[in-house]
């Protein structure tokens, strides 16, 4: 079995922009089967694993999403380069100069770099002042192409997915920096919890569902195929860091409210009490520009108590970073929650 960081490294290495998650979903299904569980795949491509508990009358659900930010080819330009359209919410400057992969529908892949069209300061005097937008950002393909027809001949078409390189690094000081920690860090923690169930015969008081969603970055992951007996729904997603935020990279972040509104008061309080009782380092926070699979489920009409927690992720939706301490604190809270009684 793999450690949390090993799982995370493996997960971020597999491209999975929203809408292009088939490869990583296959990897996760295979790993879950290796652990000893039988995953079920929904029509939308989410993965659900049931861990039987002592009682089946009511159940809880823990979810994390495996889809990430990315892009699609919007246009092949006259000079053979590519214009893009975003998949998910991010700023173009957050991926400017990032290396990437173009995934054609035939299965061929090509390498490239995301650049400002006026990138050269030796040619464009106002390069630094140009607005980064769909019209000024492009992909320079690492193939000998100088016109549209040559790029098209490679098999690249409008609608092909473009994934961003993760650039994963685990430092001696315990930091993990990589793209797509949102939300593959949480997926790694849920897989670690499943491992622990099998390795150490961890017992849950009620049936517990592990739900790996694949459409969260576009707003509707985890909002369907929720088993009828689920009464508590915990989204495991990143803690947002920045000015005015309480969360950090060394604790588990428990969200009291995001842009969708407050989370369930009693269930959120339960997480806080579990952290206190188990001496787990935590912060309670409000995320101003954020929503989760839990809020998507409630918006879709799910009659559940919903809550949100996760590792603190610095520079979200850019080149992200967290620390082993935050991963460990989040894992400990997840285990404490999964083994606690329902409200």
CA 327 remoteness from chain centre: 14
CA distance 128 to 115: 12
Q: Where are the alpha helices (DSSP H) in the chain?
A: 4-12, 22-35, 148-153, 181-199, 265-277, 293-299, 324-338
Sign of CA dihedral 134, 135, 139, 143: positive
**DSSP-assigned beta bridge partners for residue 284:** 254
**Residues whose CB is less than 8 angstroms from the CB of residue 273 and which lie 6 or more positions away in sequence, other chains included:** none
Structure tokens at 86: 């975003």
Binding site feature residues for Zn(2+): 65, 182, 217, 237, 317
Query: Which residues are catalytically annotated?
Result: 216
Mapping DSSP onto H, E and C, the string for 47-113 reads EEEEECCCEEEEEEEEEEECCECEEEEEEECCCCCEEEEEECCCCHHHCCCCEEEEECCCCCEEEEE
Structure tokens at 136: 């000024």
Q: Are strands 82-87 and 320-323 parallel, antiparallel or unpaired?
A: unpaired
CA distance 30 to 34: 6
Peptide bond into 183 cis (omega under 30): yes
């Amino acid at each position: 079995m793999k450690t949390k960081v090993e799982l995370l490294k493996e997960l971020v290495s597999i491209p999975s922009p929203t809408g292009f998650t088939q490869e990583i979903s296959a990897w996760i299904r295979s790993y879950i089967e290796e652990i000893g569980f039988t995953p079920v795949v929904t029509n939308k491509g989410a993965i659900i694993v049931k861990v039987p508990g002592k009682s089946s009358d009511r159940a809880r659900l823990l979810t994390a999403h495996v889809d990430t930010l990315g892009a699609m080819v919007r246009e092949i330009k006259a000079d053979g380069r590519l214009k893009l359209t975003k998949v998910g919410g991010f700023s173009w400057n957050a991926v400017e100069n990032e290396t990437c992969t173009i995934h054609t529908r035939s299965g061929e892949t090509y390498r490239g770099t995301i650049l400002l069209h006026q990138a050269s300061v030796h040619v464009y005097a106002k390069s630094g002042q140009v607005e980064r937008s769909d019209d000024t950002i492009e992909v320079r393909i690492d193939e000998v192409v100088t016109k549209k027809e040559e790029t098209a001949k490679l098999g690249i078409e409008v609608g092909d997915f473009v994934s961003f390189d993760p650039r994963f690094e685990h430092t001696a000081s315990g930091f993990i920096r990589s793209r797509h920690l949102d939300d593959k860090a949480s997926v790694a923690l849920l897989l670690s919890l499943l491992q622990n169930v099998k390795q150490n015969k961890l017992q849950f008081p009620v049936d517990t569902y592990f739900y790996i969603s694949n459409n969260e970055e576009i707003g509707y992951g985890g909002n369907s195929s929720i088993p009828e007996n689920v009464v508590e729904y915990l989204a495991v997603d990143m803690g947002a860091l920045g000015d005015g935020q309480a969360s950090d990279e060394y604790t588990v972040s428990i969200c009291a409210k995001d842009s969708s509104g407050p989370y369930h008061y009693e269930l959120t309080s339960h997480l806080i009490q579990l952290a206190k009782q188990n001496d787990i380092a935590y912060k309670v926070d409000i995320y101003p520009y954020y929503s989760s699979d839990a809020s998507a489920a409630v918006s879709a009409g799910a009659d559940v108590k919903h809550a949100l927690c996760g590792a603190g992720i610095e520079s979200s939706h850019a080149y992200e970073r967290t620390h082993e301490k935050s991963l460990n604190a989040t894992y400990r809270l997840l285990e404490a929650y999964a083994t606690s009684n329902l409200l």
